[in-house]
Chain A
């Protein structure tokens, strides 16, 4: 199974600032996904980030707020821009399972608190 490292694991930020979350995978993967989990809620897909193409955003999420980079097959970043307290969530990176039965592998997430 893929090993996913997310940085930072947690952060406390001030309103109006931006935070970039990094996702590093130990193997090359085509598909990467970014999810958000608001407090007490289930996971919601933000966007799909495939290497070599622009990220595809789900309804309710826009590039200006959540710009994503995917420079190569093992790395991606998600930026949460102009943060407000409503952005306080866990942000999770996930990657395709490849030949394994697991559809997606998930990182342990970034716990973000916005004051």
Chain B
């Protein structure tokens, strides 16, 4: 699986959009970008995934650059409950072995 690089931490104001970057410059053409988050003392939770096109669901939006070397997870209106560690993972579609890096610790402040 391609290595991903994320900033170790970021702060965000409640109610504002949170933009979480992820670099995956060695991603292969058939690797998807998956995002998970882990709220303190809980198991990781799926957020969203994508291959080439931008994706949106009820939790977030995923913007993938045209060359697929980086992506951004957008939490449109961050709340205090979005405080968590966010993981960006590159993975083949038929692979289930998630490899978690250090992630980005996001702190949403009132």
Contact = CB atoms under 8 A, between A and B. Distances in A.
A101 B96 contact: no
A84 B34 CA distance: 34
Chain B contact surface mostly: loop
Interface residues of B, number: 20
A42 B6 CA distance: 13
A22 interface: no
Nearest to A96: B96
Nearest to B95: A103
B46 A45 contact: no
Contacts of B102: 42
Given A103-B46, A109-B43, A33 B96 contact: yes
Contact of A42 (B34, B46, B49, B101): B101
Interface in A38-60: 42-45, 48
Contacts, number: 50
Nearest to B43: A106
Chain A interface category by residue count = 20 to 34
A104 B100 contact: no
A31 B3 CA distance: 24
Contacts of A45: 97-99
Interface in A70-89: none
Interface of B: 34, 38, 41-46, 49, 85, 87, 91, 96-103
